[in-house]
Amino acid sequence: MRFAAGMILVDASHSALNMLGIDETTPERTVTRVKKLRKGSLSYPYVSPQAWRYWWRKTLAEHFEWNLSPMFREEKQVFTAANPIEYPDDDVFGYMRAIKKGNVNITVTRMSPLKNSPLISLLPDRSSVTPDEGYASRHEGDPVPYTQEFYSTVLKGVFSLDLDFVGRFTIIDKAGFKNLLSKDEISKLPKSLSDVKSEYESILQKAREMNAQIDDREIFMPKEIRKKRASEVIKALRYIFGGAKQTQYLTDITPKFIILAMFDGGINPFVSDIVYEDRGEIRFDSEALISRILEFKEIINPRKLFIGKDKGFMRGWKDELEKVKDSLTENGVEVAVTTVGDAIVKFAEEIEAYYD
């Protein structure tokens, strides 16, 4: 079990990337809020995890030519093709699809190998959110007042990618692990589900054409396909784009700071407060990062840590990063402190090597 774990910081210097919508509690109903979460007595702006995943998925399509799974809608449900053989985003981002006809109910689900947090502001809303009061005046008659919130902050997000489950599909009768139907289940489908039977026979045929390894419980895609999908998920961070209100605020959401490593297990030691807010300033805690890495030294594999930082971002962190490099190197963990793009490329190469 090997996970690629990471943490990113997005410099959202003037942004409204994920809005809550109109505040219905105000009499005027003209105020558009940003999303916020409460932590203790404070509130923090955030970008929802599904928004981040949407940007990530779209970037993979734009920059790496991923053929995205089509979307279907039935009443109040929206689902994808649930075909991880043909569509890499179904493989990496997971799915749930319920097929109901008469008394027959078939549900396939795939727990996403890629797990991510929301992007959460390091600064509370009282020191990061601004209400911008404006007027719509391009029409005839009196201008119409409105207010929209935006923030100036740094957003933090963490993620983990389960490398063993990229390109590996289980047929176990358990929620999250019944990724596809087995050959036996397909052969027993009633005539009323002939279209479903045909669809799944086609999926299995496609897997055979792609030289996948198929047994009674699992399907393994060829290692070259697994390697390509996993490494491109990480490479996409270098080019990731998206977000609301870009026409008015134009935020570059590529990471300005990133930490990456692989672990034999699903932990992510970067969730804790390695970066934090102190009296309005965002600080980097080198001792916290060193302590976290040493705590999991036995399962960091390979013993390498990749740290990327944009030169113009948080210039005062240089000495703290050198402390991390010196201390961890003395303890047998190789540390590369470099640019964000270089850290992503080098880490992607480590991921590719894992599949060889």
Contact 251, 243 (CB under 8 A): yes
Give the pair of three-digit tokens for residue 200.
């799944």
Q: What pLDDT digit, counting tens, does each position of 68-101 carry?
A: 999 988 777 889 999 999 999 999 999 999 877 7
- The tokens of 129 are what? 């959110």
Q: What pLDDT, on a 0 to 100 scale, did the predictor assign at position 137?
A: 83
- Kindly state the average pLDDT of the residues 323-337: 97
**Is residue 120 scored above 90 in pLDDT?**
yes
Half-sphere exposure of 109 (CA within 13 A, CB side): 10
User: Which residue is listed with tokens 């030289």?
Assistant: 211
Mean pLDDT confidence for 1-26: 94
> What integer is the mean pLDDT of 20-44?
91
The tokens describing 114, both together, are 């890629």
- Per-residue pLDDT band for 193 (boundaries 50, 70, 90) equals confident
What's residue 134's pLDDT?
86
Predicted confidence (pLDDT) at residue 109 exceeds the cutoff of 90: yes
Residue 102 confidence (pLDDT) above 80: no
Contacts of 121 (CB under 8 A, 6+ apart): 12, 44, 45, 46, 128, 151, 153, 154, 155, 156
Task: State pTM to two decimals.
Answer: 0.94
Q: In this predicted model, what pLDDT tens digit does every residue of 139-168 receive, in sequence order?
A: 888 888 889 999 999 999 999 999 999 999
Cβ neighbour number for residue 78 with a 10 Å cutoff: 9
Condensed to tens digits (0 to 9), the pLDDT of residues 204-253 reads: 999 999 999 999 899 999 999 999 999 999 999 999 999 999 999 999 99
Domain spans of the chain? 1-48+118-163+222-355, 65-114+168-220
Identity of residue 305: L
pLDDT number for residue 36: 96
pLDDT at 286: 97
